[in-house]
Amino acid sequence: MVNIKGHEFSKLTIRDSYNRRALQYKNNIINCLRSLGISEDDIEIELEPVAMRKGQASVAWYVWNEHLFLSYNGSSKFVDNIAMVAQIIKYFINLLEKNEITQEEFLEIFMEEPDILEQRKNARSVLCVEEDSLDFEKIHENYKKLSKKFHPDMPEGNTERFKRINKAHKILKKELR
């Protein structure tokens, strides 16, 4: 099980037909989003050429005049990552359709800026962790060290750097919690 956006999901492991299954999950995502009245033209999903390789799966879509986004990179294969994305989107759309969450809550869960992947990459750089790190404990540990070192009240204090460190932590916390 893996905790994403405050909910538990089963971690999926695809064992064969990787590219075909990745395409099936892409189509499942598109069909789920269509239930909200979203046209395929308003959905962005890129498939990896070789779905069994490591790769982050991401989906961006536009609905109710907002840009929404979800990505997952917790598995060792792209196909497993896109399967997880499909599972998450289906779960939250079901909650929305059953009126267990409001439209505003749905938007809050997925609302991201269009350049969020670049922001996450930069945030990891600011916090001195590997570009593909998903270990929130390590990220948080580095955040604490850096925020203490660059706090404006400390000898090496730097207000602008301190602000960048806090923003980076906030970006990664939203991604990984």
Query: pLDDT tens across 52-78, in order?
Result: 999 889 999 999 888 898 988 888 899
User: Structure pTM?
Assistant: 0.72
Mean pLDDT across the chain: 91
Report DSSP letters for the chain, one per residue.
Answer: -EEETTEEEPPP---S-HHHHHHHHHHHHHHHHHTTT--GGGEEEPPPSSTTS---EEEEEEETTEEEEEEE--SSSHHHHHHHHHHHHHHHHHHHHTTSS-HHHHHHHHB--TTHHHHHHHHHHHTT--TT---HHHHHHHHHHHHHHT-TTSTT--HHHHHHHHHHHHHHHHHH-
pLDDT of residue 156: 87
Q: CB–CB of 36/77 below 8 Å?
A: no
Span 152-174, average pLDDT: 90
pLDDT of residue 4: 80
Domain ranges of the chain: 2-110, 116-176
Place of tokens 């982050």: 56
Q: CB–CB of 121/170 below 8 Å?
A: no
pLDDT of residue 5: 80
| CATH placement of domain 116-176 | 1.10.287
pLDDT of residue 124: 92
Q: How far is CA 78 from CA 2, 91, 166, in A?
A: 17, 20, 30
What is the rounded distance in angstroms from the CA atom of residue 115 to the CA atom of residue 47?
Answer: 18
Band of pLDDT at residue 177, cut at 50, 70 and 90: low
Query: pLDDT tens across 4-26, in order?
Result: 888 889 888 899 999 999 999 99
Query: pLDDT tens across 78-124, in order?
Result: 999 999 999 999 999 999 999 999 999 999 889 877 777 788 889 99
